[in-house]
Structure 1
Amino acid sequence: MFSLQDKVALITGAGSGIGEAIARLFARQGARVVVGDVRLDAAQQVADDIKAEGGEALPLAFDVAESEQVRAAFSKAVARYGRVDISVNNAGISHVGNILETSDEDYERVMRVNAGGVFRCAREAVRQMLAQDPKGGTIINISSVAAQVGVEQRLPYSASKGAVLAMTRSIAIDFVSQGIRCNAICPGTVHSPFVEGYLKRNFAGREDEVRQTLHARQPIGRMGRPDEIANAALYLASDEAAFVTGSGLVIDGGWTAK
């Protein structure tokens, strides 16, 4: 089950964390993986590791906040593999602050990457999936529980992830009759380089204390792992999820059940 044999998957933010875990798992399940990241060295390392394990991977450096770079990335993926069957929109950034602590620049920066990046990548994915033969494919957007419940000091991040969830539903409805499925994953806090970077930037000297708080806010008693999110992405990308579209799959250790 959950084979992705010979499917082509383009994954953003795949140089570390959740995106890396998805890229590695998809490759093990037979997909040809386009490892996208803003950092070429990170994308290259993941692609090299996949190839060393017998998989097929193409590293690409591009910024999801730039339309021309996104278009070029999809063009390169199609030039190499002929099509794109799966698009995983995972790249994202964060900001700590309530509405009074968020400048115009802070808000626009987070929205441009998190919401705008999903918009640009999903738009190119839809265009390609409609143009290829046979047409169709699967889009998976990484949203967050912050799209569904209030999270302290995360105003622009929450707004951006809410937009991702809304776009997911809209894309799903607009293209369900043309062979395109679109779903979102809404993780709780996942222990990853993204989180460690956030701790270092915002809580220098208090990393251990805040890390324990992040573990504790999930009723299960810990943060999630990137591989746990990757497993959900594998299901949504597979043919076994053929009846699933427009959904927001929550994986949060019980956080939103409280």
Structure 2
Amino acid sequence: MTSILITGASSGIGRATAEAFLAEGWTVGLVARRAERLREIAAGQGKAIPLPADVSDPGAMQAAFDQFIGEAGRLDVLFNNAGIFGPSASPDEVRVEDFDQVMAVNLRGMFIAARLAFAQMRRQSPQGGRIINNGSISAHVPRENSICYTTSKHAVTGLTRSLSLDGRAFDIACGQIDIGNAESELVADLKARQPDMQTMDVADAARSVLHMAQLPLSANVQFMTVMATRMPYIGRG
């Protein structure tokens, strides 16, 4: 496997993952809305392909996939990473529009990318590939005042399971990485409100994605949890 498309590639976990794969010699498609960030990452990297697009826009994502396949020849791995946290508020204080926005990126966007990747992997020769969805610790247990994000990430787990099941016939493996408190822009916003928050280097999350992607298609990490060791996840009441 030598080609990967990464959504949410302009910062945080997505950027760190892109840099890790480029260092290993992979052809890397960089999908995000901020074109200038993508060009910055791709500068001097012959195997980096900037693909500015909004993951919730089916037409833009189709164009991004078409360009990537045109240049890379095939798609071995999709890292379905793009996501936003949304408002941190009591459920009754969350606007419906804000809930919809989180669902549009975290769930609709992830489905759009997975759908396009599945179609490509099903028809390419040799057939098959791997889809890695970025879940979250919030796919298991919520933070306070995180109803939008938590709902979306629980749904991602259902998406992962369905893709894994439906992909068997086509040699398409699907797994999910649930990352806790990697030092991304999203976590930085939370840490500003909780200065004692335990975090880990975002590069550790990226190396975990690389491990999942480098497995042969005969093996699959179905679910992986990687988090700051002292994060209060295990044992919280």
**Residue 68 (1) aligns with residue 59 (2):** yes
How much does 1:176 deviate?
1.6
Out of 171, 177, 182, the residue aligned to residue 169 of structure 2 is 177
Name which of 106, 121, 144 aligns with 1:129: 121
Letter in 1 for 2:8: G
What is the Cα deviation at residue 102 of structure 1? Answer: 1.1
2:196 corresponds, among 213, 226, 240, to 213
CA distance in 2, matches of 1:72, 1:10: 13
Contact 1:235 1:241 in 2 (8 A): no
Q: Is the 8 A contact 2:8 2:32 kept in 1?
A: yes
Q: Residue 38 of structure 2 aligns with which residue?
A: 43
Other-structure match for 1:219: none
In structure 1, the residue matched to 2:9 is 14
State the secondary structure of the residue aligned to 2:132: strand
Alignment partner of 2:72 out of 67, 81, 104: 81
Give per-residue Cα distances to partners, 1:42-88, cap 9 Å, x unaligned: 11111115x1xxx5111110000111111111001011111111101
Residues 165 and 248 in structure 1, CA contact (< 8 A), matched pair in contact too: no
Q: Residue 76 of structure 2 contacts residue 130 of structure 2 at CA under 8 Å; is this kept in 1?
A: yes
Please point out which of 113, 117, 133 is paired with 2:105.
113
User: Where do 4+ consecutive residues of structure 1 move more than 6 Å?
Assistant: none
% identical equivalent positions: 33
Residue identity opposite 1:73 in structure 2: A
Consecutive unaligned residues of structure 2, counting only runs of 5 or more, are none
Residues of 2 paired with 1:190 and 1:211: CA distance?
A: 14
The 8 Å contact of residues 9 and 15 in structure 2, kept in 1 or not, is answered as yes
Flag the structure with higher helix content. Answer: 1
Tell me how large the CA RMSD over aligned residues is: 1.6
1:214 counterpart SS class: coil
SS in structure 1 of the partner of residue 54 of structure 2: coil
What CA deviation, in whole Å up to 9, does each residue of 1:90-138 have, x standing for no partner?
Answer: 1111121231121110110001100111100000000000111111001
CA distance in 2, matches of 1:214, 1:239: 33
Q: Which runs of 5+ in 1 are unaligned?
A: 216-222
Native 8 Å contact 2:135 2:153 kept in 1: yes
Superposed CA deviations along residues 204-240 of structure 1, whole A, max 9, x for unmatched, are: xxx3xx342322xxxxxxx022111111101111135
Specify the code of the residue in structure 1 equivalent to 2:197. Answer: L
Partner of residue 220, structure 1: none
- 1:92 corresponds to which residue? 83
TM-score norm. by structure 1 comes to 0.85
Letter in 1 for 2:65: F
Alignment match, 2:145: 153
CA shift for structure 1 position 195: 2.7
TM-score normalised by the chain length of structure 2:
0.93
Match of 2:227 in 1: 252
Partner of 2:196, secondary structure, is: helix
Question: 2: CA distance between counterparts of 1:250 and 1:18?
Answer: 14
How many aligned residue pairs are there?
232
Q: What is the aligned counterpart of 1:243 among 195, 219, 224?
A: 219
Report the alpha carbon displacement of residue 257 of structure 1 after superposing the two structures with TM: 1.9
